[in-house]
Protein backbone atom coordinates (compact mmCIF):
# COMPACT_ATOMS: atom_id res chain seq x y z
CA UNK A 1 0.00 0.00 0.00
CA UNK A 2 1.37 3.42 -0.95
CA UNK A 3 0.71 5.11 2.38
CA UNK A 4 2.70 2.66 4.52
CA UNK A 5 5.82 4.09 6.17
CA UNK A 6 9.15 2.28 5.81
CA UNK A 7 9.31 2.10 9.62
CA UNK A 8 6.59 2.42 12.27
CA UNK A 9 5.36 5.87 13.18
CA UNK A 10 6.81 7.06 16.49
CA UNK A 11 4.13 7.91 19.05
CA UNK A 12 3.87 9.42 22.48
CA UNK A 13 1.06 8.98 24.99
CA UNK A 14 0.67 11.83 27.47
CA UNK A 15 -1.69 11.34 30.40
CA UNK A 16 -2.94 14.52 32.10
CA UNK A 17 -4.01 13.87 35.66
CA UNK A 18 -3.26 15.68 38.89
CA UNK A 19 -4.00 12.56 40.97
CA UNK A 20 -2.22 10.26 38.53
CA UNK A 21 0.92 12.40 38.55
CA UNK A 22 0.98 12.17 42.37
CA UNK A 23 0.49 8.40 42.36
CA UNK A 24 -2.99 8.70 43.89
CA UNK A 25 -4.79 7.17 40.89
CA UNK A 26 -3.73 4.45 38.47
CA UNK A 27 -3.52 5.52 34.86
CA UNK A 28 -5.69 3.08 32.94
CA UNK A 29 -6.25 5.07 29.72
CA UNK A 30 -2.55 5.64 28.89
CA UNK A 31 -1.58 1.94 28.94
CA UNK A 32 -4.75 1.00 27.03
CA UNK A 33 -3.98 3.55 24.30
CA UNK A 34 -0.41 2.26 24.04
CA UNK A 35 -1.73 -1.28 23.59
CA UNK A 36 -4.11 -0.19 20.81
CA UNK A 37 -1.37 1.76 19.04
CA UNK A 38 1.16 -1.09 19.23
CA UNK A 39 -1.45 -3.51 17.87
CA UNK A 40 -2.00 -1.11 14.96
CA UNK A 41 1.75 -1.09 14.20
CA UNK A 42 2.85 2.12 15.90
CA UNK A 43 6.02 2.43 17.99
CA UNK A 44 5.59 3.92 21.47
CA UNK A 45 8.56 6.23 21.97
CA UNK A 46 7.34 8.28 24.94
CA UNK A 47 4.88 7.94 27.80
CA UNK A 48 4.41 10.30 30.71
CA UNK A 49 1.85 11.23 33.35
CA UNK A 50 1.85 14.91 34.28
CA UNK A 51 -0.51 17.20 36.22
CA UNK A 52 -3.24 19.28 34.58
CA UNK A 53 -0.96 22.30 34.33
CA UNK A 54 -1.20 24.18 31.06
CA UNK A 55 2.39 25.43 30.85
CA UNK A 56 3.76 21.96 31.63
CA UNK A 57 1.50 20.40 29.01
CA UNK A 58 2.69 22.93 26.44
CA UNK A 59 6.37 22.36 27.33
CA UNK A 60 5.96 18.58 27.06
CA UNK A 61 4.19 18.75 23.70
CA UNK A 62 6.84 21.09 22.29
CA UNK A 63 9.67 18.88 23.57
CA UNK A 64 8.11 15.72 22.17
CA UNK A 65 7.61 17.30 18.74
CA UNK A 66 10.74 19.43 18.46
CA UNK A 67 13.27 17.23 20.25
CA UNK A 68 11.93 13.67 20.13
CA UNK A 69 10.48 14.27 16.65
CA UNK A 70 7.42 12.14 17.28
CA UNK A 71 4.94 11.56 14.47
CA UNK A 72 1.86 11.27 16.68
CA UNK A 73 1.05 12.40 20.21
CA UNK A 74 -2.07 11.13 21.93
CA UNK A 75 -3.11 13.00 25.04
CA UNK A 76 -5.62 11.55 27.47
CA UNK A 77 -7.37 13.64 30.08
CA UNK A 78 -8.04 17.30 30.68
CA UNK A 79 -10.61 17.71 27.90
CA UNK A 80 -13.70 18.32 30.02
CA UNK A 81 -14.95 21.41 31.82
CA UNK A 82 -13.41 20.96 35.26
CA UNK A 83 -11.51 24.06 36.39
CA UNK A 84 -8.10 22.42 35.75
CA UNK A 85 -8.98 20.85 32.36
CA UNK A 86 -6.68 22.83 30.06
CA UNK A 87 -5.44 20.26 27.53
CA UNK A 88 -7.22 21.79 24.50
CA UNK A 89 -5.90 25.26 25.37
CA UNK A 90 -2.34 23.94 25.77
CA UNK A 91 -2.61 22.05 22.49
CA UNK A 92 -4.04 25.04 20.67
CA UNK A 93 -1.09 27.15 21.87
CA UNK A 94 1.51 24.82 20.32
CA UNK A 95 -0.11 23.68 17.07
CA UNK A 96 0.16 25.41 13.71
CA UNK A 97 -2.93 23.85 12.08
CA UNK A 98 -6.10 22.49 13.60
CA UNK A 99 -7.68 19.32 12.14
CA UNK A 100 -11.31 19.65 13.24
CA UNK A 101 -12.56 16.60 11.33
CA UNK A 102 -10.81 14.24 13.75
CA UNK A 103 -12.23 15.78 16.91
CA UNK A 104 -15.67 16.23 15.33
CA UNK A 105 -15.71 12.56 14.31
CA UNK A 106 -14.71 11.40 17.79
CA UNK A 107 -17.37 13.55 19.47
CA UNK A 108 -20.05 12.38 17.05
CA UNK A 109 -19.14 8.76 17.68
CA UNK A 110 -19.10 9.32 21.45
CA UNK A 111 -22.58 10.83 21.28
CA UNK A 112 -23.79 7.43 20.09
CA UNK A 113 -22.66 6.07 23.48
CA UNK A 114 -23.44 8.91 25.90
CA UNK A 115 -24.98 12.35 25.88
CA UNK A 116 -22.13 13.47 28.17
CA UNK A 117 -19.89 13.59 25.05
CA UNK A 118 -21.23 17.11 24.47
CA UNK A 119 -18.85 18.21 27.26
CA UNK A 120 -15.71 16.94 25.52
CA UNK A 121 -13.51 19.80 24.27
CA UNK A 122 -10.62 17.80 22.80
CA UNK A 123 -9.00 19.03 19.61
CA UNK A 124 -6.61 17.67 16.99
CA UNK A 125 -3.86 19.63 15.35
CA UNK A 126 -0.46 19.64 13.70
CA UNK A 127 2.84 21.02 14.94
CA UNK A 128 5.56 20.70 12.33
CA UNK A 129 5.03 17.13 11.05
CA UNK A 130 3.38 15.73 14.16
CA UNK A 131 -0.31 15.15 14.78
CA UNK A 132 -1.49 15.89 18.33
CA UNK A 133 -4.79 14.30 19.27
CA UNK A 134 -6.66 15.03 22.54
CA UNK A 135 -8.71 12.17 23.98
CA UNK A 136 -10.87 12.00 27.11
CA UNK A 137 -9.33 10.69 30.33
CA UNK A 138 -11.53 7.66 30.98
CA UNK A 139 -10.20 4.35 29.68
CA UNK A 140 -13.46 3.49 27.92
CA UNK A 141 -13.94 6.88 26.26
CA UNK A 142 -10.27 7.17 25.26
CA UNK A 143 -10.35 3.71 23.68
CA UNK A 144 -13.60 4.39 21.83
CA UNK A 145 -12.32 7.73 20.53
CA UNK A 146 -9.02 6.31 19.30
CA UNK A 147 -10.72 3.33 17.67
CA UNK A 148 -13.01 5.76 15.82
CA UNK A 149 -10.18 7.64 14.09
CA UNK A 150 -7.43 5.00 14.05
CA UNK A 151 -8.31 3.79 10.52
CA UNK A 152 -7.68 7.32 9.18
CA UNK A 153 -4.41 8.00 10.97
CA UNK A 154 -1.99 6.00 8.77
CA UNK A 155 -2.97 7.87 5.63
CA UNK A 156 -3.06 11.26 7.36
CA UNK A 157 0.39 10.77 8.86
CA UNK A 158 1.71 9.59 5.51
CA UNK A 159 0.49 12.79 3.86
CA UNK A 160 1.76 14.91 6.77
CA UNK A 161 5.22 13.39 6.29
CA UNK A 162 5.18 14.39 2.61
CA UNK A 163 3.76 11.25 1.03
CA UNK A 164 2.84 11.92 -2.57
CA UNK A 165 0.47 9.06 -3.39
CA UNK A 166 -2.95 10.30 -4.42
CA UNK A 167 -5.82 10.26 -1.96
CA UNK A 168 -8.38 7.93 -3.36
| pLDDT band, residue 1 (cuts 50/70/90) | very low
Domains of the chain: 10-160 (3.40.980.10)
The span from the CA of 50 to the CA of 137, in Å, is: 13
Query: How do beta strands 43-50 and 72-76 pair?
Result: unpaired
Summarised one tens digit per residue, pLDDT across range 119-146 is 999 999 999 999 999 999 999 999 999 9
Answer whether 71's CB lies under 8 Å from 51's CB.
Answer: no
Q: How many CB atoms lie within 10 A of CB 63?
A: 14
The span from the CA of 145 to the CA of 108, in Å, is: 10
Q: How many CB atoms lie within 10 A of CB 167?
A: 9
- What pLDDT score was predicted for residue 4? 60
Amino acid sequence: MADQPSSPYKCGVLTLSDKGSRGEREDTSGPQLQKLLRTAGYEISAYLIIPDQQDLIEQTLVKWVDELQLDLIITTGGTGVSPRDRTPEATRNVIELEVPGLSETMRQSSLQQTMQAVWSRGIAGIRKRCLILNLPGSKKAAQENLETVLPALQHGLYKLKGGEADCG
